[in-house]
Amino acid sequence: MADSQIPHKLLLDNLTTAVIMLDHALHLQYMNPAAEMLLAVSGQRSHGQFVSELFTESPEALESLRLAVNEAHPFTKREAQLITLSGQTLTVDYAVTPLPGKLHNRLLIEVEPRDRPLRISKEEAQLSKQETTKLLVRGLAHEIKNPLGGIRGAAQLLARELPSEDLRDYTNVIIEEADRLRNLVDRMLGSNKLPVIVPTNIHEVLERVCSLVKAETDGVITLVRDYDPSIPELFADREQLIQAVLNVVRNAMQAIEGQSDLRLGRITLCTRALRQFTIAHVRHRLVCRVDITDNGPGIPSELQETIFYPMVSGRAEGTGLGLSIAQNIVSQHGGLIECESHPGHTTFTLFLPLEQGVSSV
């Protein structure tokens, strides 16, 4: 930029909004530091490059940029999907403004990332559903357990009065089924024990889960580790965390078992550290991210919104409690579970704060 524009450049350089300027041929003339961070490129090294060398969207978007240059036609696009040079997909809003005067035939593009607001909005909806479900389950459990106790007690009294052992078989069935229902309700409610918070290595937790899965599958399913060894210990209830991760990995394992050849099954465990990450309006300095990915058939689209609800399962023999329990445990640790699935690829992501303390639920 010319010397007379230095104050303007100083202003643009200090904006948190990503700003990009293209010439009439859609080659880069300027990008501010916010744009460099967003696109993960160097403005100096990228100077003069064609716009599609910085990011790609669609042929229609490229034509819209050319039209904006030729006809001085500004436009705005909402929730566009940009693919950066590194292959990362960004959801953004962007506004394109043709510049007047000496800068005629140049385009100013303001880019506003939408991934974070969209993710926070999705988290809020998920946490709200989780709280509603929790209240519903607690109320339902109370209403079920009270009459179950009466049914069981009446069956025991009846068994004492029956003259024949054969007739007692019927009362035994009543007692056993009442106990089974009570145990099911207890599992829906989750553990009532106070968590034992100790410094916990997330990789020790994952390795314990891997050893359990290997024993259950005779090592047929391939387990791939992609760990970040620099992640510090987190403060958690180790046994509960093992249970949560095991429930998610078992879900992946059962999805793979539905396929014809188990030897092709693969589960990948990946850990990464995230800085300045927000969970439920709480900004954490450091968060541990655990991705559990399988190459199974994927979760049916009609179940993806309700997969964490109790009693929701894609398998006829499933109880639908594993993921609900896992979500409850992670929530008690101030974390969150997310799921992304399509045929051949399903990822459950656990976000666990690395600060000391467990949320009250």
**What are 11-41's pLDDT values in tens digits?**
888 888 899 999 989 999 999 999 998 888 8
Is 350 a residue whose pLDDT tops 90? yes
Which candidate, 113, 52, 51, places its Cα nearest to that of 78? 113
Would 3-113 and 197-353 be classified into the same CATH topology? no
Compute the distance between CA of residue 254 and CA of residue 346 in angstroms, rounded to an integer: 12
Is 316 a residue whose pLDDT tops 60? no
Q: Hey, where are the domains in the chain?
A: 3-113, 118-189, 197-353
**What are 265-300's pLDDT values in tens digits?**
899 999 999 887 878 778 888 999 999 999 988 888
Compute the distance between CA of residue 15 and CA of residue 42 in angstroms, rounded to an integer: 17
The answer to whether residues 314 and 303 touch, using CB atoms and an 8 Å cutoff, is: yes
Give the distance from CA 273 to its chain's centroid: 15
Is 361 a residue whose pLDDT tops 50? no
Compute the distance between CA of residue 336 and CA of residue 127 in angstroms, rounded to an integer: 9
Domain 3-113 annotated CATH 3.30.1600.10: no
Pick the CATH number of 197-353 from 3.40.50.720, 2.160.10.10, 3.30.565.10, 2.40.50.250: 3.30.565.10
pTM of the model: 0.61
Label residue 39 left, alpha or beta by phi (over 0 means left) and psi (-120 to 50 means alpha): alpha
CA angle 109, 16, 88 (to 5 degrees): 70
